[in-house]
Structure 1
Amino acid sequence: MQSPLFAHADNQTGERYSLQNPQLLRVALTGRDDVLARKGSMVAYQGSIEFDAEYQSGQERRRRRQTGEGLDLMRCQGEGTVYFANLAQYVHLVDIESDGLTVDSSYVLALDSTLNFQVIAVDSQYGISGTGKYQLNITGRGKVALMTSGEPLMLRVGRESTSINVDSDAIVAWSAGLRVQMQAQTQSSTARSRRGNTGEGWELGFQGEGYVLVQPSELLPPQNARIGSGVAAQFGMGDRGSHGQNRGNDWN
């Protein structure tokens, strides 16, 4: 059999984490260190691999219900190669070190089991679409695979520079050491008002020293979406869209 498809054959590499292509993550397991991945994100694997739902304590489940933040994970262990993807989103590898990473849980594809993560409060008075009151803080040493809708923008925040402002619906992650403030430039005293008729609303201001990751999209990825009919369903709205069909996940 012959086909141009053979140009997309498995990329053999000695790295634990690597990208098969910009939208497909390849993880090599040796039987020693497990990897935690978003439930349902495995698209293929080779070798002897076991997949188990990661245990969540009662406190973690309550926090998930109260904040809307948290990770639904499966533990992957064994020897072989596993491939992960989610809705053909772009995948990016990040080395977590002493400074830590703050991220919306909807953008986490996989991470080392040695990393720690917990829900934290962000400087915000309101629960706003995109980045709201709570985010996920990842600490320790290891790798995490993030997802973006399209190719992202990485902005550096320096101590000598003015603050960087990012649309709250486009932010993906930022260095945990940055100072964050949610703000809106609006002439109305109500939190729900937008800036006149510009369509721009809430934004996050960052100060300090670190990095901010932004995606070219202002929509969270629908997880396990079951799309109904019509334009509203296609964009996740209503009882027949991905919002209505996926009660209890990160997109609600």
Structure 2
Amino acid sequence: MQSPLFAYADNQTAERFSLQNPQLLRVVLHGRDDVLARKGAMVAYQGTIEFDAEYQSGQERRRRRETGEGLELMRCQGDGVVYFANLAQYVHLVDVDQDGLTVDSSYVLALDSSLNHQVIEVDSQYGISGTGRYQLNITGRGKVALVTSGEPLLLRVGPESTSVNVDADAVVAWSTALRVQMQAQTQSATVWRRRGNTGEGWELGFQGRGQVLVQPSELLPPQNARIGSGAAAQFGMGAGGARGHNRGNDWS
């Protein structure tokens, strides 16, 4: 049999985390060397692999209910190769070190089981439609696979530069060591809207030394995109708009 499809055959590499292609993660497992992945993210595997729901303590479940932030994970272990993907989003590998990584849990595809993750509160006065006040802080040493809607932009923040400002609905992750401040570019009379008169609204300002990852989209990954139909929803109004879906935040 002959076909151009053979160009997409399995990449033969012994690396634990690698990209089969820009939208497909390949993970090699050996014995007890397991990995944590988003529930339902497995698209194929070779070998003998077991999938188990990851245990959540009562405190973790309570924290998730209170903040809406947290990871729904499954533990993958065995001998073989596993492939992960999420709605054909772009996959990016990040080496986490002592600096740590702060990320919205919606963008996490998989991570080393040796890494620690906990919910933290971003210094802010308001919750917003995309990236809210609660985020996931990942620490330790290991790899994390993130997903973005489209090819992202990586901005470097350093002492030689002024603060870096990004749209709060487009930011994906940043170095935990960075100082973060949430602010609005709208008039006070219109802060209840998802966007002000300029079409720009909530933003995050970063200072210090580190990196900020931004995606070319102002929506959460497709499974969490909650913009309804009609003009009202597009401006954040109504039950189908961003405001309706964020009732309970301080600013709603």
Pair 31,152 (structure 1): closer, same or farther in 2 beyond 3 Å: same
Distance 1:37 1:217 in 2: 23
Q: Contact conserved, 1:186 with 1:194, CA < 8 A, in 2?
A: no
1:181-238, Cα deviation, whole Å (9 max, x unpaired): 001122325632467521100000000000000000011013399x9xx957xx9x99
State the TM-score, normalized to the length of structure 2.
Answer: 0.88
Give, in angstroms, the shift of residue 160 of structure 1. 2.3
Q: Is the 8 A contact 2:35 2:77 kept in 1?
A: yes
Distance 1:87 1:239, change over 3 A: farther
Relative distance call for 1:5 and 1:66 in structure 2 (3 A) is same
Matching residue of 1:34: 34
Q: Is the 8 A contact 1:186 1:193 kept in 2?
A: no
TM-score norm. by structure 1 comes to 0.88
Q: In structure 2, what is the equivalent of residue 244 of structure 1?
A: none
Residue 45 (str. 1) matches residue 45 (str. 2): yes
* CA offsets 1:54-82 (integer angstroms, 9 cap, x no match): 00011100100100100000000000000
**Structure 2 segments unaligned to the other structure (5+ residues):** 241-252
Distance 1:76 1:162 in 2: 43
Change (3 A) 1:196 1:38: closer
How do 1:122-133 and structure 2 match up within 5 A?
Answer: 122-133=122-133
Structure 1 residues 127 and 196: CA distance shift in structure 2, 3 A: closer
What does residue 181 of structure 2 align with?
181
**Which residue of structure 2 aligns with residue 223 of structure 1?**
223
Taking the aligned partners of 1:195 and 1:41, their CA distance within structure 2 comes to 33
Q: Is the 8 A contact 2:70 2:119 kept in 1?
A: yes
Tell me what 2:2 maps to. Answer: 2
Alpha-carbon contact 2:93-2:143 (below 8 Å) kept: yes
Q: Any idea what SS the aligned residue of 1:223 has?
A: helix
Aligned equivalent of 1:94: 94
User: For residues 43-122 of structure 1, what are the structure 2 equivalents within 5 Å?
Assistant: 43-122=43-122
Structure 2 counterpart of 1:185, which letter?
Q
Number of residue pairs aligned between Structure 1 and Structure 2: 236
Deviations 1:95-141 (A, max 9, x none): 00000000000000000000000000001111101111100000000
Structure-1 residue corresponding to 2:245:
none
Which residue of structure 2 aligns with residue 12 of structure 1? 12
Aligned to 2:250: none
Structure 1 regions of 5+ residues with no counterpart? 241-252
Give the alignment's Cα RMSD to 1 decimal: 2.5
Q: Tell me if the contact between 2:190 and 2:196 (Cα under 8 Å) persists in the aligned partners.
A: no
Percent of matched pairs sharing the same residue: 84
The amino acid that maps onto 2:87 is L
What is the DSSP-based 3-state SS (H/G/I as helix, E as strand, rest coil) of the residue aligned with 1:155?
strand
- The superposition leaves residues 22-56 of structure 1 with CA deviations (integer Å, 9 ceiling, x where unpaired) of 00000000113110000000000000000000000
